[in-house]
Amino acid sequence: MSLEIDPNRIPKHFLIGVPKSGTTSLSIYLREHPNICFSQPKETNFFATHFPDSYRKINTWEKYFQCFGHAKECETLVEGSVSYLHSPEAIKQILEYRPDAKFLVIIRNLIEVAQAHHSQRLRSGDEDIQDFEKAWRLQEQRREGKNIPKNCSMKEELLYHDLAKVGSQITTLLSMVDRSRVRFLFFEDLKSAPRDLYLDTLSFLNIPDDGRKSFTIHNKNRSYKLKSIQAFLHNLPSPIKKITTAIKQAFNINEFAVITWWNSFNQKQVERPPLREEFRNELIDIFREEVEIIESITERNLSHWKC
């Protein structure tokens, strides 16, 4: 991937996580700022070169630069792939081409992160176990390649404990990037004091306040109305997949408009079922060390995550 590339065409700022922690909302706020050009799509996964093509559809420099084709000369480029936080390889790739890169990380209660990952995988068709606790118990089997749903393209996306080990992930990030180039934000602040968090973000980006007052929370937990059709679209028969891939390549598009419309139409907002008290207490103990790492790094009291 190492090529002579003008670094000014690559974003200096990356919103890299935590997945399911308000990154979609923040990306929308930033996208609507007149001095910012946010990548379209939000998550290119371009620098996660070890990911399969199903997760990394923006896989050439030409396609990547097109994600910022709407940028004006005065605008700051920002990219929002949350896969990068748990991918040291991706961070290394970014720093190879943009050594001065800066990173935004929104942190959420780790139990909620793990449960939200499970909901996301159910919606994508990678997961087929509806009950989070049952899926949690299958992690070690799945790590060994057992009990993997037939539609799952990447078993690592079913390892909910690993995905929610945010303390370890930000420790790795800070071993590669100076602390001054990372801004840690908190999902609970996004909900309770969104403008303060927004201003903090703009300050980190060195962007002036645009006076934004409206802060709607986007991308709440959703499910599909017609799951069988969604599963078919997620795992198209090989002949159909080859045809659709060829058409996308010929017309240089990432997704068909009708599929984008259907995905939106077929979704409904749902509440996650509460965890059993015993299971929740088990998770609190499991994630305790990770929470303490986050407390140490961010100097924030997170005692309410440990009880």
Give me the mean pLDDT over the 206-221 stretch: 87
CATH topology for the 7-111+164-219+287-305 domain:
Rossmann fold (3.40.50)
pLDDT at 292: 98
Q: For 152-279, where are the E strands, in sequence order? A: 182-186, 222-224, 267-269
pLDDT at 296: 98
pLDDT at 56: 85
Q: Are strands 36-38 and 222-224 parallel, antiparallel or unpaired?
A: unpaired
Average pLDDT, the chain: 88
Q: Which two tokens stand for residue 306?
A: 């440990």
Q: Which two tokens stand for residue 196?
A: 């303060």
- Residue 30 half-sphere exposure, CB side, CA atoms within 13 Å? 33
Q: How far apart are CA 220 and CA 25, in angstroms?
A: 10
How many helical (H) and strand (E) elements, i.e. helices and strands, does the chain have?
A: 14, 7
Residue 35's pLDDT band, with cuts at 50, 70 and 90, is very high
Whole-model pTM: value is 0.85
Cβ(139)–Cβ(158) under 8 Å? yes
Residue 30 pLDDT > 90: yes
Residues of the chain with pLDDT > 90, as a percent, come to 71
Give residue-wise pLDDT tens across range 214-239.
Answer: 999 886 545 555 556 665 665 666 66
Residue 202 pLDDT > 60: yes
Domain ranges for the chain, please list them: 7-111+164-219+287-305, 222-270
Q: Report the side by side order of strands in the sheet with 36-38.
A: 36-38, 76-79, 13-15, 102-107, 182-186
Q: How far apart are CA 174 and CA 179, in angstroms?
A: 6
Residue 8's pLDDT band, with cuts at 50, 70 and 90, is confident
Q: Which residue has the tokens 């606790």?
A: 133
